[in-house]
Amino acid sequence: MSDKNLTAILYKKGEIRLEDQPVPEPTPGNVQVCMQKVGICGSDVHYWQHGSIGDFIVKAPMVLGHEASGVISKVGQGVTDLKIGDRVAIEPGVPCRLCKYCKTGRYNLCLDMKFCATPPIHGNLARYYTHAADFCFKMPDHVSFEEGALFEPLSVAIHACRRAGVTLGSKVLICGAGPIGLVNLLTAKATGASEVCITDIDQKRLDIAKELGADYTLLVKSRDAKEVAEQLEDMMGEKAEITIECSGAAPSVQTAIYATQSGGCVMLVGLGQAEVTLPIVNAAVREVDIRGLFRYANCYPTALSMVASGKVDVKPLITHRFNLEETLQAFETTARGEGIKVMINCGRS
């Protein structure tokens, strides 16, 4: 089998195949990217294990992968800002650019969003892939392809810290120390948060958080949300001004509310059960704002400048590396919850 464009395709729940696909040609306004690095995200693994996330159901074979970087190998008609050889990070969601959400800058809410590896849209875990040129961000030479792939989760954190109002001196609680909780930790710190506390039910993840600069860590052992909130308050000396919930676990969302100061904000990043019972009156009478979050908008340029300037170091998040041919092993490793970020090299090994 030739592998000119070896591609990782999810055929259906539980079935990933590596197949050679035609090399795609860039249409006007698009570029062809010779893919370099693609990080595996929990959602990729979820589609593989369950075949769906909420209303997004894998009904036809879909290429996986959306945390990606590569080198421009061809440019489509009308592309002037990028040229062959440019190293780029790929923002995976391309919106319609015309609707009211797009026009007001909240393009992550576009109803016509085409997001890599969200059915039925193909992702970019392949040797070659084409993408809208204006959603490819040119990186300076000293920013690595792995860092470029990590702009994706980093953008989620930038959006979360912005929407939550993290600023100089903020006291922040982060619930869940998975990849998303950890990029929120890095971003909150870089934004000027004076104290960041992070929770998890897994001590290994808290140890990593500590190395990444967490001021406090709490190993959650109880499902009693009030009890955990009290432990957090004891630890931090007061309730958090801002809580960024990154586990999606129901008891943790409840803790997030109890552990936040009156007048503060709970940012819901984690997506777990569709319906959760919350201490809503407690939040209401203390004016704790509960805010939703969906991916990001206008965050890639910030991710790029934060990484390029050295203000945020995402490299320690990468714990495992595989070649494209080893995609299945990479997914199995991620599914076992080993390490933090699993990175796939899409170049020829």
On whether the CB atoms of residues 76 and 26 are closer than 8 A, the answer is yes
**Among the listed residues 161, 164, 193, 184, the one whose alpha carbon sits nearest the alpha carbon of residue 266:** 164
Paired with 322 in beta bridges are 344
Q: Is 252 in the site for ligand NAD (CB under 6 A)?
A: yes
**The two three-digit tokens of residue 210, written as one number:** 């500590």
The DSSP bridge partners found for residue 144 are: none
Tell me: does residue 95 bind Zn ion (CB under 5 A): yes
C-beta of residue 102 within 8 angstroms of C-beta of residue 187: no
Kindly indicate which of the ranges 89-97, 120-128, 179-187, 281-289 contains the residues binding ligand NAD, using the contact rule CB under 6 A.
179-187
Stretch that binds ligand NAD, among 1-9, 113-121, 247-255, 312-320 (CB under 6 A): 247-255
| Residues from 293 through 322 that contact ligand NAD (CB under 6 A) | 293-295
**174 is an interface residue for ligand NAD by CB under 6 A:** no
Nearer Cβ to ligand NAD, position 199 or 345? 199
Treating both helix axes as pointing N-terminal to C-terminal, what angle do 42-50 and 327-335 enclose, rounded to 10 degrees? Answer: 100
Stretch that binds Zn ion, among 18-26, 49-57, 103-111, 263-271 (CB under 5 A): 103-111
The Cβ of residue 234 has, within 10 Å, a number of other Cβ atoms equal to 10
Structural element, H or E, at residue 254: helix 250-258
CB-wise, 96 or 328, nearer to Zn ion?
96
Residue 232 is a binding residue for ligand NAD (CB under 6 A) = no
Residue nearer to ligand NAD on the CB measure, 47 or 145: 47
Angle in degrees, 0-180, between the axes of helices 203-211 and 179-191, rounded to the nearest 10: 30
Cβ atoms within 10 Å of 140's Cβ, excluding its own: 9
Total residues contacting ligand NAD by CB under 6 A comes to: 28
Out of 6, 16, 110, 253, the only residue in the binding site for Zn ion (CB under 5 A) is 110
In the chain, how many H helices and how many E strands?
Answer: 11, 20
* Between 123 and 176, CB nearer to ligand NAD: 176
216 binds, among Zn ion, ligand NAD, none (CB under 5 to 8 A by kind): none
Which one of Zn ion, ligand NAD, none is in contact with 110 (Cβ closer than 5 to 8 A by kind)? Zn ion
Cβ nearer to ligand NAD, comparing 216 with 294: 294
| Residue 251 interacts with ligand NAD (CB under 6 A): yes or no | yes
Q: How far apart are the first and last CA of the chain?
A: 16
CB of 103 to Zn ion, least distance (A): 8
Contacts of 65 (CB under 8 A, 6+ apart): 8, 38, 40, 44, 116, 117, 123, 124, 125, 126, 344
Which residues of the chain form contacts with Zn ion (CB under 5 A)?
Answer: 95-96, 99, 102, 110
Which residues of the chain form contacts with ligand NAD (CB under 6 A)?
Answer: 42, 156, 175-181, 199-202, 205, 220, 246-249, 251-252, 269-272, 293-295
